[in-house]
Structure 1
Amino acid sequence: MANSKRPLMDIRRHLLAGQAIPALPLALNTERKWCRKHQRALIRYYLESGTGGIAVGVHSTQFEIREPRYGLFEPLLRFASEQIDAYTRDSSNGFIKIAGLCGQTEQAVSEAKLAADCGYHAGLLSLAAMKHASEDELLAHCEAVSKHISIIGFYLQSAVGGAPLPYSFWKRFAMIENVVAIKMAPFNRYQTIDVIRAVCESGRSDISLYTGNDDNIIADLVTPWDFAGQKVFIRGGLLGQFGVWTSKATAMLREIQRERARGQLSPEWMSRNAALTDANAAIFDAANNFRGVLCGIHEVLRRQGLLETNYCLDPNEQLSPGQAEELDRVCRAYPWLTDDAFVKENLHRWLSD
């Protein structure tokens, strides 16, 4: 079993409680080199924003970190894990470290072993590299990886490399013993329902459902999903969108959870859902098929001082024409979504050694 600093049942309990989990962007300086100072500041920002975990080595972190010319995958995993441990060592609050896992089986298993060795509790398993595999082959792949670390399933939207995964796959995936959660990010209501129905009809009540649908976050969280005689809620969010304005995102999740517990969800949430989706469209560059998604995230953080630049490892990845103006627009339109004051108050501490 994986080397984990949190027992398996604690991981399940923590995820079932519902957490806001941001996907960690990669901090680069003006020379397009990894900047540990700003990476540390960003991690501290997430920790002090009240998040329940961080996902490292995922799409927001840039898959290119695995390329030999950059050699950043292991150093970044270890650095992030050490920073989180140093901060949470004396805290009684739970915190889950999630590592992105990708590639064919040999690569994914190797990454799972590394993540476990670095102290990560679970792996977010991308199947993008297995697009042409059969359902049986995909499940065998997932089983192999799950022997080394608890896994979180990942339904990735096709615009950024995902492949359609049918109800039958998710029903069988839910029967893998070491699955602890599923992140649903197909940006598609039909496919999202496939996952929820599959988990409900599998009989597994210990698998947490998390939204990754950055285009419909609040709607996902406030909907009571009813399948197989069970009324379930999506527990929390594991999101690129939660990588910006994070303190407001965690506060929003807690407010929704309180209202769900009382059984009194305000209809105002649907208006807020539309506003958050509009803001996400600007950040993720939906108008240009998400070409500027990473730079959009970086630009929000750069404006706040949390990143030095909005650079990606690939110089060709830049803000799309008009994207900066769209960011200006949504910040003016929805000031309640932003947390500039919180960042300004604490940035000097987060940037200190």
Structure 2
Amino acid sequence: MRHSEMNPEVRRLIAEGIVIPAHPLALNADRTLDVAHQRALTRYYIDAGAGGLAVGVHTTQFAIRGVGLYKPVLELAAETAASWTKRPLAMVAGLVGSTRQAVAEAKIARGIGYHAGLLSLAALKSASEQEIVAHCEAVAREIPLVGFYLQPAVGGVILSADFWRRFAAIDNVIAIKIAPFNRYRTLDVLRGVATANALDRITLYTGNDDHILLDLMLPFDLRDQGVTTRAHIKGGLLGHWSVWTASALKQFEMCRAARGKTSLPADLLALDARVTDCNSALFDVANNFHGCIAGCHEILRRQGLMQGIWCLDPAEGLSPGQMAEIDRVCREHADLADDAFVAANLQKWLA
């Protein structure tokens, strides 16, 4: 499927920049799929105002593939979304593995009705950049792509600005999630897309959970042979936005309203640090992100959107000291939560 064949309303949404939460996986105590709470999560994100959903991605747990849950989880999210709202939603499927696996997953996602694939390159650590580009080209023949610069701490591959130039030259690339958690590497993506003259076609999304709001409001000036090109990161596709999503929508709209103005409100700039502080606890920065998925689960458990924080891998959970940090940020940044919104709607979502 080519991007020109996409639902035009969905293509417009992606191009304008939207909030796309990375959808978690709700499990029962026996680590099997909890369908009721999985549906409730999808309904929560839709009612919070998300413009799309990313399913089968890192936050959904890559291990769903090994237990036969990849297709069922994608189908459940798509069916729930279609029955819950009539407004257009950008449905993004996570794609991983070798070229053969990623192409197969792209075909599954396209068959279910997903609009794009978020392509993880973590399985290609030993490949050259030329080989990785060829891999991306093969998958792009099946479905429009959202590129993914995943931080090395959780399996990402370090890639050059020249790689991103070549990646941006692939016609069926529609967006890039920039998530290296590194300002230098973030600029490499921007430079690469600008050098490919693709900034008008490819929409930049932040996945930098350590600088969400700054990424969304600051302009980026890129210089090439004395010519300045100003770029903006227009949307976000984030694991952090799997929690407190209604509040994230408000923050996103504030950043979008401030973007392009000659001065930015100091309070909005300062809010970035508070959001980053929350992320440090949820994503378990103190333990090199080991508990990043379980940390998000804990917030959802407290709100009743999950029954527990179980992950598919029994060894994956909260790190020592992480619960105390989550308690701290919930106490100190209580105004950034959306507990009242969830409480008012939870029974409806679980019905």
- 1:126 is aligned to 2:120: yes
Structure 1 match to 2:316: 317
Instruction: Provide, for residues 154-209 of structure 1, a one-character-per-residue CA deviation record: whole Å limited to 9, x for no partner.
Output: 00000100010000100010000000000000000000000011112211111000
Structure 2 match to 1:190: 184
Match among 167, 170, 179 for residue 176 of structure 1? 170
State TM-score, norm by structure 1.
0.95
Identity of aligned residues (%): 52
Structure 1 match to 2:73: 76
Equivalents in 1 of 2:251, 2:222: separation in Å?
A: 26
Equivalents in 1 of 2:253, 2:15: separation in Å?
A: 14
Structure 1 match to 2:105: 111
Farther off after superposition, 332-341 or 220-229? 220-229
- What are the ranges of 5 or more consecutive residues in structure 2 without an aligned counterpart? none
Structure 1 match to 2:161: 167
Contact 1:2 1:116 in 2 (8 A): no
Structure 1 match to 2:148: 154
Structure 1 match to 2:6: 6
Farther off after superposition, 9-18 or 334-343? 9-18
Equivalents in 1 of 2:53, 2:206: separation in Å?
A: 15
Structure 2 match to 1:335: 334
Contact 2:290 2:316 in 1 (8 A): yes
Equivalents in 1 of 2:5, 2:51: separation in Å?
A: 15
Equivalents in 1 of 2:247, 2:79: separation in Å?
A: 26
Q: What is the Cα deviation at residue 271 of structure 1? A: 1.5
Structure 1 match to 2:215: 220
User: Residues 3, 80 of structure 1: CA spacing in aligned structure 2 closer, same or farther, 3 A cutoff?
Assistant: farther
Letter in 1 for 2:6: R
Letter in 1 for 2:272: N
Equivalents in 1 of 2:3, 2:237: separation in Å?
A: 23
Letter in 1 for 2:136: C
User: Residues 172, 51 of structure 1: CA spacing in aligned structure 2 closer, same or farther, 3 A cutoff?
Assistant: same
For 1:1-353, list aligned pairs within 5 A: 1=1, 6-7=6-7, 10-67=9-66, 70-88=67-85, 90-91=86-87, 94-204=88-198, 205-228=200-223, 229-260=228-259, 262-352=261-351
Q: What is the Cα deviation at residue 105 of structure 1? A: 0.4
* SS of aligned partner of 1:226: strand
Farther off after superposition, 280-289 or 268-277? 268-277
Contact 1:3 1:116 in 2 (8 A): no
Instruction: Provide, for residues 103-147 of structure 1, a one-character-per-residue CA deviation record: whole Å limited to 9, x for no partner.
Output: 010000000000000100000000100111111111111010001
Equivalents in 1 of 2:254, 2:196: separation in Å?
A: 30
User: How many residues of Structure 1 are paired with residues of Structure 2 in the alignment?
Assistant: 346
Farther off after superposition, 201-210 or 265-274? 265-274
* SS of aligned partner of 2:259: helix
Instruction: Provide, for residues 279-331 of structure 1, a one-character-per-residue CA deviation record: whole Å limited to 9, x for no partner.
Output: 10000000001111111010000000000110001111111111111111001
Letter in 2 for 1:267: A
Q: What is the Cα deviation at residue 262 of structure 1? A: 4.8
Letter in 1 for 2:50: T
Equivalents in 2 of 1:11, 1:351: separation in Å?
A: 27
User: Residues 313, 63 of structure 1: CA spacing in aligned structure 2 closer, same or farther, 3 A cutoff?
Assistant: same
Letter in 2 for 1:207: I
Equivalents in 1 of 2:298, 2:81: separation in Å?
A: 24
* SS of aligned partner of 1:170: helix
Equivalents in 1 of 2:4, 2:45: separation in Å?
A: 21
Equivalents in 2 of 1:3, 1:174: separation in Å?
A: 14
Farther off after superposition, 253-262 or 42-51? 253-262
State TM-score, norm by structure 2.
0.96
